[in-house]
Amino acid sequence: MPGPERSSRHRSWWLPVSAAILSGLIGAGATWWVMGGRLQLAEQHAHVLQQTVTRTQDELLGYSRYTSYLTLGKQTLAEHTKLLTATVVREEGVTEVIERSLLGFASSGTVAIWYTAEYPFGYDLQPGQFDLRATADGLEVRLKKPRLVTSPAVRDLRYKILAGGVLTDEKVAVIQLYAKAAQEAAGKGQALAADPAVVALCEKRLVEFLREFLRQQPGVRNVPHIRVVYTD
């Protein structure tokens, strides 16, 4: 049976060892807890970073996504040609002097007519007649210049006999001018198609329609500058 002295020596040896082991276990536990916390924090940061990268990529793609809808955009333009028609309304007038002679006696009269003409201008957007393409600085629509898409509508015909002659029949002249009004309007419309104001109006209708169509497509965040280029 060990004596008191031996037991005392045994306790004096075991207590420091136990304390060291306990300290080591506590230290290991603390290290594991700290490392575990750091690992969790790192994983959270990595997740946030991944979300940021994904969001940034989606945003960047959104700025060029419009290029995926150019073919569909061409089809839509062709299908909605009537919606892109720009109608110009103008008051027109024609004055005509009528001259007639009989047995050496000359007579003249003057008549005038006025009417409202509606000129419908637009582009030829049939397949193969235009192109829509992406360029380094935006989008480009290549097509022919605006033209009359249908005959002008003539309405509100009015007339006035400015001067009557003894031998002239001004009312017959008015009827003849009425008959010529549609033909006159068609000729004026052909010339009016080249007017810079008419061209600008047609371009505005075309660009606004195309821009709105692309803006409504899924994933599109930005639609760049759209330029109209004429091929004729």
* Euclidean distance between CA atoms 13 and 9, whole angstroms: 6
Averages of pLDDT over each 10 residues, the chain, 232 residues: 52 55 58 60 60 47 73 90 90 78 64 90 92 92 94 88 62 80 91 95 95 91 93 90
Per-residue pLDDT tens over the stretch 33-65: 556 666 676 566 656 556 554 444 444 444 478
Answer yes or no: are the C-beta atoms of 227 and 141 closer than 8 Å. yes
55: its two tokens: 């969001």
How far apart CA 221 and CA 207 sit, in angstroms, is: 17
211 CB-contact burial (10 Å; exposed 0-12 / middle 13-18 / buried 19+): middle
Task: List, in order, residues 6 or more apart from 146 with CB less than 8 Å away.
Answer: 86, 121, 122, 123, 193, 198, 199, 202
Per-residue pLDDT at 41? 64
Q: Cβ(148)–Cβ(124) under 8 Å?
A: no
Looking at residue 113, its pLDDT comes to 84
Residue 172: the pLDDT is 76
**196-215 helix and 70-79 helix, angle to the nearest 10 degrees:** 130
Residue 57: its pLDDT value, please? 44
Q: Which H or E element spans position 25?
A: helix 4-62
Please give the C-alpha separations between residue 85 and each of 143, 175, 201, in angstroms, as whole numbers: 15, 32, 10
pLDDT value of position 111:
82
Q: What is the pLDDT of residue 83?
A: 80
Q: What is the pLDDT of residue 125?
A: 92
pLDDT at 56: 45
